[in-house]
Each structure stands twice: as C-alpha cells, then as structure tokens.
Amino acid sequence: MDSIIFLCGSESIKISKISSAVSFSADNLIACSPLLGSLSTQAIPGATYEWLIDGQAVGNTPTINYNLTNPGCYDVALQVDVSGCSGSSILEDYLCVEADPVASFSFVPNEFSAASDSVQFYNSTLGNNTYSWNFGDGYTSNQEQEDHQFNNTYQGYFVTLTVTTELGCVDSLTQYIGFEEQVIFYVPNSFTPDQDEHNQLWKPIITSGIDIFNFHLSVFNRWGELIWESFDSSTGWDGTFAEILDVQQGIYTWVLDFQLKNNDDKKSYTGTVNLIR
C-alpha cells in the first residue's frame, strides 16, 4: 500500500517540489539474505530527509544503502522537509528477504554392514525448491527422496544434499555413513571333555566383526571364582583348572569381552556352558 501525506504552506511551487520528492524506489526488492541495495528519491536543495525501515531510522540523505538479513518483508517510509513544507511516503512490505532453506535428511540403515548395501534417504528439508544429492560414489540425483545402492562400502561415504529456492537461496548438509562389520559369533552351550575325541574343547566360534587382538574370554564357577581365561580367540577350554585338574561336571558362567574390528567400541557378553563328563 502506498500512502502519501502532504503538509505545506501556501506556496504552490513548494508543494510541487515536495510532491515529487516523496516518490522513491529501490534497486533490489527481494532476495536471499542478505538483501543489499539502495533507496533513492529526488534531491532537492535545502531539503532534509528521514528514511525509516520498519520504523527504524536508517538514513538522512536522498540515497541510502540497506543491508537486511532477517527473513521477512519490511515497510519503508520517507519524510522530506523543505522550507516549512513536508511530505511523506510509506510503502508497506516493500523490501523482502526470503528465508534460506534448511537442508535436512536422515537415512536407514545408519551404517553399512556389508560390502554392497542399499540405503534409504528421507528428505526433511524446510523451505526449498530443488534438490541435489551427491552420494560420494560418483552418483547424483535430483529426486526428493532416494533409495541408493552403494558398493565398496568399507571406507564409508560422505553424502551431501544441496537445496535451492526459486530465488537461488542455498543450503547444504553433508553426513557420513560409516562401515561397521556385523558381529557374528556363536558360543556353544555345552561340551563333553571325556577323552572320547569328540567335543573336547569349548570356545566361541567367531566369523566376523571382532578384533581378535582385543579379546578376553573368562570362565567362572558357581561361586564366582575364575576357573579359566584366554586372550587368544583360537584357544579353547578343555575343562581343567590351571591346565591340570579336571573340574566337576556342571554349569559354568562365561564372560566374553572384545573390541570391534573397525572402531574402538568395546562389547561384553555373558552366558553359561554345561560341562558334561
């Protein structure tokens, strides 16, 4: 809305000058943050000027520069005074700063667990117009949601989503998808160290995911006393104490501690094993 108000004396020439002076224009009306530009009006000798943007004084010359960063639209007002005559003009929502988009996405699974893995990406971006995915493996996409197949995942991938508004406001987000080999092991629940050449040793069967150099397996009796332990994943328990004495038939508690192969995470598992003679 454009409102113009004149307060002047009786000299018509002064009214004519003020009527022309209260018209103004901007060279950049809408843009992404920051909105930069200048406001200009006719220069009149001896006149004083007062510019206001959203009620805040911003300048007192015929031409001023502005730098607006907060999203939203701004009212612009100008008052010109000369020799007792004054004129003002107000343009509501004249300058507008478009809000930047906020790139956001999630993905499932959140880590690779196989050499070839499919990942579903969920786009939760706010305030956007176009999308650009870069999956870090040489493939890109402009779809809003994506289901992407990755290969050679052992080193992980950085995935970037770039979003752009119609005015060209841009935001991007990069997230890393790491690789964690699945921990796969099996712990037998019984064994029979009875010298018949079958099932004489008890030990976990480990297939993947465990750092064998950060391995500790302990066996305890019903009173919590340590009966046997090993730091070597290839070594099994033969049902003896101190490698000499045969322990009694019964149920024993085991505790398995290890570090994952691809990171520093430590895991601990416990269970029981039935020793049968």
Work out the burial of residue 176: count CB atoms within 10 Å of its CB; fewer than 13 is exposed, 13-18 middle, 19 or more buried: exposed
Structure confidence at residue 109 (pLDDT): 94
Indicate where the chain has its CATH 2.60.40.10 domain(s).
2-98, 105-179
**Separation CA 234–CA 40 (nearest Å):** 84
CA angle 69, 168, 94 (to 5 degrees): 50
**Separation CA 229–CA 241 (nearest Å):** 10
CATH class of segment(s) 2-98: mainly beta
Structure confidence at residue 18 (pLDDT): 45
Contact present, 237 and 274 (Cβ < 8 Å): no
Contact present, 20 and 42 (Cβ < 8 Å): yes
Radius of gyration of the chain measured on its C-alpha atoms: 38
Going by the DSSP 8-state scheme, the letter that residue 20 receives in this structure is H
Pairing relationship of beta strands 226-230 and 210-220 according to DSSP bridges:
antiparallel
Contact present, 182 and 208 (Cβ < 8 Å): yes
Residues in the chain with pLDDT < 70? Answer: 1-21, 262
- Tokens 């970037």, residue located: 160
Give the three-state DSSP class for 73: strand
Check: CATH 2.60.40 for 184-275? yes
Q: How much is the pTM? A: 0.61
Structure confidence at residue 9 (pLDDT): 52
Check: CATH 3.30.465.10 for 105-179? no
Structure confidence at residue 206 (pLDDT): 85
DSSP per-residue codes, 208-256: ESEEEEEEEEEEE-TTS-EEEEES-TT--B-SEETTTEEPPSEEEEEEE
Strand partners, 221: none
Read off the tokens for 277. Answer: 């003679």
